Structure 1
Amino acid sequence: MSGPAAALRGYDAELREGLAELRARREELSGRIREEEAERSRLQGRIGALTERLARTSESLARHLAARGELDRTIAETEAAYGKILESSQTLLDVLKGEIGNAGKASEPQN
């Protein structure tokens, strides 16, 4: 009976080796899983921080764009008003020159 018993001991040894190898692989894989879970956790934290930063930047950008729009409108209105003032000044100057010319003619001695 040493034949079947020896075979059984051989199978037992191979099974134990196979199981030990599988357990070692599982342990290695568990280490990789822990590393990747830690990396995922770090990345999720960064995503959260970046999402918050993006929201703050977007809000700030919207405020700045609105302020620039207000300045653009104010500049356009001021330039238009200034143009009207220049136009009115030119008209007033023309009228004044005409009046000066008329006053000069009225004060000349008549022949």
Structure 2
Amino acid sequence: MAQQGATLQNYNNELVRCIEELREKREEVNRQILKEEEEKAKIQRDLSILTERLGRVNESLARKVTARNEYDHTIQETESAYMKILESSQTLLHVLKRETSNLSKKRQASS
């Protein structure tokens, strides 16, 4: 009977040791969970901040693209008007030269 008691005591000691090992492993996993939950919370805060910044940058970018498009339109209109002025100036110059030449010919003919 003493032998059975000793065997039972050994089983009990081994069972207690195994339970203790399981608890230690559980605590290690629990520490890892807590650490990852902290990391997750930090990432979520960072993501929130970055999402807000992205929204502000997108709004700013949209305003600047609109402004650039307005500049492009104004430049295009101005260049077009300037080209018309140049064409008109060239036409005026040709007319002036022709008229000057005609007046010179008339003056020479009357002399």
The TM-score, its normalising length taken from structure 2, stands at: 0.92
Match of 2:44 in 1: 44
The residue type paired with residue 43 of structure 1 is I
Match of 1:21 in 2: 21
The residue type paired with residue 91 of structure 2 is T
> Matched residues in 2 for 1:51 and 1:109: separation?
86
> Matched residues in 1 for 2:91 and 2:110: separation?
30
Say whether residues 1:53 and 2:64 are aligned partners: no
Match of 2:4 in 1: 4
Among all aligned residue pairs of Structure 1 and Structure 2, give the percentage whose two residues are the same amino acid: 50
> Matched residues in 1 for 2:110 and 2:79: separation?
48
* Count of aligned residue pairs for this structure pair: 111
SS at match of 2:110: coil
- The range that moved more, 93-102 or 82-91, is 93-102
RMSD (Å), alpha carbons? 1.4
Match of 2:62 in 1: 62
Q: Deviations over 1:17-68 (max 9, x none)?
A: 0111111111111111111111111111111111111111111111111111
For structure 1, the 5+ residue unaligned runs are none
The TM-score, its normalising length taken from structure 1, stands at: 0.92
